[in-house]
Amino acid sequence: MVIDIQTLTDRYIDSCIDCSILPNKSILSAFSKAEFRKSNNEEACFVIFLDDLISVDFHPLYSVLEQVDISEIDSVDILQNSRCSLEGSSVLSLLHAVNQKLRVVDLQDKKLGKDFLMGLSLRGLSCQVLNLKFSHFRKVNMNGKFVQMHTLNLDFSPSLSTFGKDCFTCMPNLKCLSLCETKISNFWTTSASLAKLPNLIELRFQSCYCCIDSKACPVYFGATSDEDTSFSLINETTEEHKDLLLNAEDELSNVFPIANNNSVDETVSESGESTDSEVDFSNTHPGIRLLEGITYESSDLNRLFDLPNEIFPWRSEDAEESWSNSSILRSTSHTSPKKHFFYHSSPICNEKHYREYLIASFPNLKVLDNQPIRKADKDRAAVIYSDNFEYLPYKRTNKENVATILQSREVKGHKSRSYYSRSLGASKVGCAILPSLHPLSIKTSCIPNNDGRKFRPRQFEYHPSNSSLMVIGTLDGEVIVVNHESEKVVRYITSHRCMNSVLGLCWLKKYPNKLISGSDNGLLKLYDIQQIPSTNKGIYANGASVSFDEFDQLTSVHVNSLDELFLASGYSKDVALYDISTGRRLQVFTDMHKEHINVVKFANHSPSMFATSSFDHDVKMWDLRQKPIHPCYTASSGRGNVMVCFSPDDHYLLVSSVDNEVKQLLAVDGRLHLDFGISPTGSAQNYTRSYYMNGRDYVLCGSCDEHVVRICCAQTGRRLRDISLEGKSSGSSMFVQSLRGDPFRDFNLSILAAYQQQNSSPEIVKVNMLTSKDAEKESLSDERSPSAHCLGGA
């Protein structure tokens, strides 16, 4: 028996009488409108506005919604325009009271709470469209049933940065997804999650200036869709849209006037000198940003402005071809700009080749950020993806099963050992898109007088021959040798209340029980950890430590390949050379650079060759045999140099400069071998550091203003993965202070990460790219290399 709408209305009124309340006028109006549509042979949609409800309205409405499925009402929409006075649990009950006829759910209230989201995620909904703007999601884990849902909108979720492993497997029919103004930034984790959506055809991480949903923009001019594209695009704009664009252009020109053809690229200061300084708009409204710049068809000026889009949102990153036929604001002049307006962007949109990466990753996608995807876009994206990204490590093109690789090795065995190890690595990395991240928790029970405080690491180095050991220098001047596998302290060296932050650490290779430590107040010591008791009370045996002449404002120490000499550099233009066996400072090389020398490094195999990197933009190679007065060669960077290191075979120099300028040089003569082309942030304090991983196969890049580690192929520069650091709580920001590749385990690394909050301590995060973040921890025993395990590895 089907209940007609009038009968359902009467039941609602009766229920209100039973509850001793007046019927809600908004609900009565919704019944009336549904009945009117039914009488006109239209879809009888029952629309509920949560804004119009108060708590006493819940029970009568709930009893009616339970009967909707057997009524004449065709669909139910539950909407919210502003604040909702109902509790989150009551809203959830109303949503679940409607079964198959729930059509649109549009919620925007920030007060519904985490319990509401948890209940929604676990149980699911039968709606077709779900708008959850301003949600509290930090990580999307929607595991309930959302079988009927074809559109999901999570715009303006300020904490949303990642997705659960299987969060989209419960949405087999999802076609449209919008994630504007979230914190999503990682290509690989995002694409791995979205790959669970076989029917996804419309995706949005930023909005077109005139669009409120993820579909193709109606004022997108001259873009002809492919034969298989079902979108009909309007070829003429409305006067309203023209006025919007013209007003936006006027507002933009008032704030940042566009130069004419006679303008020069330099900004002229009051003194008349031209500068290349960058404009800082950090104090403007963060919600809407101007993503990219203006492209001129024929002009001496071809600039990229990086303005905040509170002025007006637009973007032109490699999208000129898509808009080439646009008649919006077109003039007859050959210098008229082509403008692409976007706003509410997520951080992923700022990544280089963002659009091409997603188009290449999702061949079934038809609309991205309101722009239709044409065949030409797909062809171009395929080329750019191939040139700039590695699908799998070591140029593997197809994912292989680990068992198949092992079987092939046993049966055929004609390939080299490195071929199979690389194949296994590529297979495991391909399966673990969300790599395992494990903060190193050091057990301090063996340390005397420890009051439960945490160590504050400032520098660390893996042991050169024992795969389980690592030395850590702290901000408080301590030196700690730890077993990073068991997380136990092996040796603890107190600061003696005289050392400041430990910035320089270096193990000796021929004498692996010894290490050099240097602090920022200039103290230099050699420790023999074999002679230091495990329960150190600050009293050492003779020979357990050796002091060297101080090097003021020290930042770096490094030992040569024979363990005979070491170098020290710091906030000066000088480098000091020390003899390890005698403890004497042999010489100070003065004025090696025009500004302070941040890092000095000996070659890995040649005991007399070393390189210096300075904030004067130069990297220099020196030879002790030639009394380093003049460098063997000088190579210049565009910005101040933060790091330099040799590849394990000394074939290359890896140079890292401020704000993501990372280059690989030929060590023999300093010629440029590879520029990794990482996009800058515009920050002069974004200090970048890079090291090798897997021998010299891959390069790790991290910067102190960013929470991401980039992993690139050392031969091609193509990006393999980005690893994002997540804070312990919502809103906590982390950045990369230092990082190292594990010399014993391929695709393993450690990151020294610091929080922006002053009361938070830095921590070392171990990353295993072969193990999934969401999988159970695998035993490390199969991955350990044979080692001497001196000190018992305790």
Predicted confidence (pLDDT) per residue in 145-154, tens digit: 999 999 999 9
Judged on CB neighbours under 10 Å (0-12, 13-18, 19+), 109 is buried
> CA angle 324-326-329, nearest 5°?
120
The amino acid that residue 651 corresponds to is H
Bigger pLDDT: 268 vs 367: 367
Per mean pLDDT, which of 262-276, 314-328, 638-652 is the most reliable?
Answer: 638-652
pLDDT the model gives residue 270: 35
Q: Which backbone phi and psi does 323 adopt, to 5 degrees? A: -115, 15
Bigger pLDDT: 402 vs 338: 402
Residues ≥6 apart with Cβ < 8 Å to 136? 110, 113, 114, 117, 157, 159
How many alpha carbons fall within 13 Å on the CB side of residue 270?
Answer: 0
| Residue 636 resides in a domain | yes
Structure tokens belonging to residue 715: 């031969």
pLDDT the model gives residue 95: 95
CA distance 207 to 503: 45
Q: What tens digit of pLDDT does each residue of 732-779 get?
A: 678 999 999 999 999 999 999 998 777 788 999 999 999 987 664 444
Structure tokens belonging to residue 285: 């409204």
Comparing CA positions, the residue from 601, 684, 706 lying closest to residue 646 is 601
Report whether pLDDT(271) > 50.
Answer: no
pLDDT the model gives residue 416: 79
Per mean pLDDT, which of 7-11, 214-218, 448-452 is the most reliable?
Answer: 7-11
Q: What counts of helices (H) and strands (E) characterise the chain?
A: 11, 43
Distances in whole angstroms, Cα of residue 334 to Cα of each of 247, 317, 575: 22, 20, 57
pLDDT the model gives residue 241: 44
Bigger pLDDT: 700 vs 758: 700
| Residue 562 resides in a domain | yes
The amino acid that residue 715 corresponds to is Q
| Residue 642 resides in a domain | yes
Residue in this structure with the two tokens 């202070």, named with its chain if needed: 737
Query: How much of the chain is helix, strand and coil, in % rounded to 5?
Result: 20, 25, 55
pLDDT the model gives residue 221: 47
Contact present, 267 and 256 (Cβ < 8 Å): no
Pairing of strands 698-703, 688-693: antiparallel
Pairing of strands 652-657, 661-666: antiparallel
pLDDT the model gives residue 317: 39
Contact present, 509 and 561 (Cβ < 8 Å): yes
| Residue 534 resides in a domain | no
pLDDT the model gives residue 233: 35
Secondary structure element (H or E) that encloses residue 721, with its range: strand 719-724
pLDDT the model gives residue 617: 97
Lowest mean pLDDT segment, chosen from 8-12, 54-58, 673-677, 783-787: 783-787
Report whether pLDDT(499) > 80.
Answer: no
Q: What tens digit of pLDDT does each residue of 450-462 get?
A: 666 788 999 999 9
Lowest mean pLDDT segment, chosen from 150-159, 238-247, 429-438: 238-247
CA distance 273 to 523: 43
Residues ≥6 apart with Cβ < 8 Å to 725? 437, 707, 708, 709, 734, 735, 736, 751, 753, 765
Bigger pLDDT: 447 vs 271: 447
Q: What tens digit of pLDDT does each residue of 119-158 get?
A: 999 999 999 999 998 888 888 888 899 999 999 999 999 8
What number of residues does the chain have? 794
Range of the domain at 605: 549-711
| Residue 337 resides in a domain | no
The mean per-residue pLDDT over the stretch 323-347 comes to: 51
| Residue 748 resides in a domain | no
The mean per-residue pLDDT over the stretch 644-649 comes to: 98
| Residue 706 resides in a domain | yes
Q: What is the CATH number of the domain that holds 603?
A: 2.130.10.10
Report whether pLDDT(413) > 50.
Answer: yes
The mean per-residue pLDDT over the stretch 720-724 comes to: 94
Q: Which backbone phi and psi does 57 adopt, to 5 degrees? A: -80, -10
- Positive or negative torsion for Cα 61, 65, 71, 73: positive
The radius of gyration computed from the CA coordinates of the chain, to the nearest angstrom, equals: 31
CA distance 114 to 120: 10
Position 500 confidence tier, pLDDT thresholds 50, 70, 90: confident
Judged on CB neighbours under 10 Å (0-12, 13-18, 19+), 276 is exposed
Q: What is the domain count for the chain? A: 1
CA distance 294 to 306: 10
pLDDT the model gives residue 792: 35
pLDDT the model gives residue 445: 64
The mean per-residue pLDDT over the stretch 34-55 comes to: 95
- Angle of helix 5-18 relative to helix 58-65, nearest 10 degrees? 150
Lowest mean pLDDT segment, chosen from 7-21, 113-127, 167-181: 113-127
Q: What is the DSSP letter of 209?
A: T
Report whether pLDDT(714) > 90.
Answer: yes
| Residue 757 resides in a domain | no
Mean pLDDT rounded to a whole number for the chain: 82
How many alpha carbons fall within 13 Å on the CB side of residue 147?
Answer: 4
Q: What tens digit of pLDDT does each residue of 373-400 get?
A: 999 999 999 999 999 999 999 988 888 8
Q: What tens digit of pLDDT does each residue of 536-593 get?
A: 555 556 568 899 999 999 999 999 999 999 999 999 999 999 999 999 999 999 999 9
Report whether pLDDT(101) > 60.
Answer: yes
Strands (E), 109-182: 129-132, 139-140, 151-153, 162-163, 176-178
Task: Report percent pLDDT > 90 for the chain.
Answer: 61
The mean per-residue pLDDT over the stretch 700-718 comes to: 96
Distances in whole angstroms, Cα of residue 165 to Cα of each of 182, 431, 506, 727: 18, 12, 39, 19
Report whether pLDDT(311) > 50.
Answer: no
- Positive or negative torsion for Cα 405, 410, 415, 421: positive
Report whether pLDDT(284) > 50.
Answer: no
pLDDT the model gives residue 497: 59
- What would you measure as the largest C-alpha separation in the chain, in angstroms? 101
Contact present, 784 and 744 (Cβ < 8 Å): yes
Starting at the earlier edge strand, list the strands of the sheet with 585-589.
Answer: 554-559, 565-570, 575-579, 585-589
CB burial of 684-718 (b: ≥16 within 10 Å; e: otherwise) equals eebbbbbbbbbebbbbbbbbbbbbbbbbbbbeebb
